Structure 1
Amino acid sequence: MIKIPTALTIAGTDPTGGAGIQADLKSFQEREVYGMSILTSAVAQNTRGVSDLHHMPIGFIEKQMQAVFDDIPPDAMKTGMVSTIEMMELIAMYVKKQDSPYVIDPVMVATSGHALMEKESRQVIRDLLIPLATIVTPNVPEAEILVNFKIEDVEDLKKAAKVIVDELGAAAAVVKGGHLEGKAVDVLYDKQVFHLLEAERTYTKHTHGTGCTFSAVITAELAKGQPVLDAVTIGKQFITDAIRYTLNIGTGSGPTNHWGHRLQGLPNQKKEE
């Protein structure tokens, strides 16, 4: 029998489907990996922002974890919105038990600017979860919180990636340069080499859920057994297409197009209004 690769996302929700576990599951499906999800927080949000959120009781999160790991242990897993110290401690326990790749998308602030992680939890993610990570995938604002300095250019991206790996203890880090000017450059550092992944920038407001989608594709590829560089390279192309072939939906920062990769080589399917 052919073994189907499995991937698990542990994250919050987006009822409009552009981010969180909804975006992760779409990404897993597009990469032909069987997706599973554990809900940490229910978030009332749309393309305009977050209006409310409710954290799941820690006992219920643990029951979800048990349900997955007792039956279908994942070939790779990722965390997105993990807001409390209790959640992080529980996740760390399961990551240590499971010998499979672990991706951290350090979701701290929504695209709209709303805080999604308690301030007290930021030090715990540094000390407890990042040392367990196969790869960490922060954008510029998230990386600045993790490394405590301002990021203004590619050299700063390199410096941040090196700190996350060499000082905070991750096996690898890809710091995304989407918030900087010019080409969309991400820097991957794997303890030995810096890899620069470049793409032409698509100027659009529709970038909701880009971090979730990018990290989910990396997780899916690691579940298939791909090495980190190949997984990140595939993730970079996937998210580039997802942004380029905009869906142009939502009245705020709209979602990316999870089937954009199928449209490579075609003109942009939608134009911004």
Structure 2
Amino acid sequence: MVAKALTIAGSDSGGGAGIQADLKTFSAMGVYGASVVTAVTAQNTQSVTAIHAIPDAVVAAQIEAVLSDIEIGAIKIGMLGTPSLIKVVADALAGYDGPVVLDPVMVAKSGDTLLADSAIDALKSELFGRATLITPNLPEAEKLAGAGTPQEQAQRLLELGVGAVLMKGGHAEGQICKDTLVSSTGARSFSAPRVNTRNTHGTGCSYSSAIAACMAQGMSMQEAVARAHRWLNAAILQADDLNVGHGHGPVHHFHALWG
């Protein structure tokens, strides 16, 4: 049987991030993808020009429709723009007992804000306790946990109830990018040389959905992060082959399939 995963996120009309990136990633990893759209964005590689939030009740209905019929092995959560929507998603997942990977999407690659500051407290209070893993980059970690070292921030996030934290180091300086998976049992790092490309749109969405896809296939968290890290590094290495748009282009989700 084919593993199945669900993404709950916003739509990116440019195809590089959000729901589109998640479904491409699921497919690339050999997993059937279902989706719940939380917002529709007018977006390309250069900017976000409009955001239309899907009504909370429609989001809840999408989740109920999927979970009542399809055996979902893991859930990835991305863009949730408002406190009320965050609560709706948390309530809709109350009966789900599989792994949940939460990507706390706050800012698009173009710099446009995707999560209001007023929603950050709701994210922490409503969804952190439900998350098997959260995957903040360094700016997101600072917004969620305050100033400090990545190790201090990860510990504060664990104290808020998340199962584990993947601290993504792509925003740090240096020629080596290091991500660190932190849980109550310790820490493990995953490193790769920094790739000289501006085509990194959708890296966070793709990384978190790759981890969810691997967990849907029955991998442990460490195995899932390790495989997703290798896959994403290859997708970034070959991102320039796509030549999409005039800004921050997407990673190459199908680098292993298109030759």
Please say whether Structure 1 and Structure 2 have the same fold, judged by a TM-score greater than 0.5.
yes
How many equivalent residue pairs? 256
The 2-side partners of 1:49 and 1:148 are apart by: 27
Q: Give a deviation string over 1:128-148, Cα, whole Å, max 9, x none.
A: 101111000011111111111
What is the match of residue 86 of structure 2?
Answer: 88
Shift of 1:94: 2.6
Q: Tell me the amino acid that sits aligned with residue 144 of structure 1.
A: E
Map of 1:187 onto structure 2 = 180
What corresponds to 2:39 in structure 1?
41
Match of 2:232 among 223, 228, 239: 239
Q: Secondary structure at the match of 2:65?
A: helix
- The answer for the alignment partner of 2:193 in structure 1 is 200
The equivalent position to 2:161 in structure 1, one of 152, 169, 178, is: 169
In the TM superposition, residue 260 of structure 1 has moved relative to its aligned partner by 2.5
**Counterpart amino acid of 1:259?**
F
Give the letter for the 1:253 counterpart: H
Q: Give distance in 1, aligned partners of 2:86 and 2:70.
A: 21
Asked if structure 2 preserves the Cα contact closer than 8 Å seen for 1:161 and 1:188, the reply is no
State the superposition RMSD in angstroms: 1.4
1:70 aligns with 2:68: yes
Q: Which residue does 2:247 correspond to in 1?
A: 252
Contact 1:172 1:189 in 2 (8 A): yes
Secondary structure of the equivalent of 2:226?
A: helix
- 1:40 counterpart SS class: strand
C-alpha deviation, 1:96, in angstroms: 2.2
How far apart in 2 are the matches of 1:158 and 1:187?
9
Indicate the larger mover: 89-98 or 15-24.
89-98
Question: Contact conserved, 2:28 with 2:253, CA < 8 A, in 1?
Answer: yes
Do the aligned residues in 2 keep the contact of 1:28 with 1:217 (CA within 8 Å)?
yes
Q: Distance in 2 between matches of 1:248 and 1:88?
A: 35
Partner of 2:21: 23
Q: Is the 8 A contact 1:84 1:121 kept in 2?
A: yes
Shift, 1:229, TM fit: 0.5
Q: Which amino acid aligns with 2:146?
A: N
Question: Does the 8 A contact of 1:131 with 1:170 survive in 2?
Answer: yes
Instruction: Structure 1: give runs of 5+ residues left out of the alignment.
Output: 151-155, 264-268
Counterpart amino acid of residue 162 in structure 1: Q
Structure 1: distance between partners of 2:181 and 2:55:
35
| TM-score normalised per structure 2 | 0.95
Cα-to-partner distance string for 1:180-203 (whole Å, 9 max, x where unaligned): 112010011021211111001101
Distance 1:168 1:54 in 2: 30
User: In the alignment, is residue 11 of structure 1 matched against residue 4 of structure 2?
Assistant: no
TM-score using structure 1 length:
0.91
1:153 paired residue number: none
- Residue 261 (structure 1) shift: 4.3
Alpha-carbon distance between aligned partners in 2 of 1:203 and 1:55, rounded to the nearest angstrom: 35
What residue ranges of structure 2 are gaps of 5+ in the alignment? none
1:141-180 CA-to-partner distances (Å, cap 9, x unmatched) read 1111111115xxxxx2222222211x21111010100001
